[in-house]
């Protein structure tokens, strides 16, 4: 089973072609909007996976947005077929998340290997309404 090394949300990322190193630009933990419903600016979900113990069995990664009320929306899925490398970078470009209200939203990262889904991490994304002054 693959192991999640890290996962984060940022507004942009740069991957160096020569070294394959990644620079994360403006990590995100919250957003402020003028009113609801709102569409957040585009963001990136970035992750790194350890495949050393995964063998050669394919697995699927799912990214789900969970609202403060518990409503789930699948944002993306990617099937990964291990190629013998120890590490696997996986990034999703999310072109604008729609949110209905204030509070703690969660990006849940799940893995399906064989029979069922297992949540590997939950990244909080707090959304607030701006205060008029």
118 DSSP 8-state letter? E
94 has pLDDT over 80:
yes
**Distance (Å, whole) CA 119 – CA 72:** 13
Which has more confidence, 82 or 7? 7
Q: What's the mean per-residue pLDDT of the chain?
A: 93
**What average pLDDT score do residues 70-97 get?**
92
Q: Per residue in 21-76, pLDDT tens?
A: 999 999 999 999 999 999 999 999 999 999 988 778 888 999 999 999 999 999 99
**What average pLDDT score do residues 95-107 get?**
95
**Distance (Å, whole) CA 58 – CA 29:** 31
Q: Per residue in 61-80, pLDDT tens?
A: 999 999 999 999 999 999 99
Q: Residue 24 class from Cβ within 10 Å (0-12 exposed, 13-18 middle, 19+ buried)?
A: middle
pLDDT the model gives residue 132: 75
**Distance (Å, whole) CA 52 – CA 65:** 28
Share of the chain above pLDDT 70, in %: 99
- The pair of structure tokens assigned to 82 is 């291990």
**Full domain range(s) for residue 51:** 3-129
* Preceding omega of 113 cis (within 30 degrees of 0): no
133 has pLDDT over 70:
no
How far separated are the first and last CA of the chain, in Å rounded?
51
Structural domains in the chain (count)? 1
**CATH number, domain with residue 23:** 2.60.40.3880
């Amino acid at each position: 089973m693959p192991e999640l090394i890290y996962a984060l949300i940022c507004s942009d990322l740069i991957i160096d072609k020569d070294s394959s190193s990644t620079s994360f630009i403006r990590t995100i933990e919250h957003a402020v909007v003028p009113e609801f419903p709102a569409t957040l600016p585009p963001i990136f979900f970035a992750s790194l996976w350890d495949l050393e113990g995964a063998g050669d069995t394919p697995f699927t990664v799912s990214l789900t947005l969970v609202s403060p009320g518990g409503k789930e929306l699948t944002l993306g899925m990617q099937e990964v077929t291990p190629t013998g490398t120890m590490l696997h970078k996986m990034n999703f470009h999310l072109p604008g998340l729609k949110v209905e209200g204030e509070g703690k939203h969660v990006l849940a990262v799940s893995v399906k290997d064989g029979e069922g889904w297992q949540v590997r991490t939950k990244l909080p994304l707090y959304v607030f309404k701006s205060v008029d002054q």
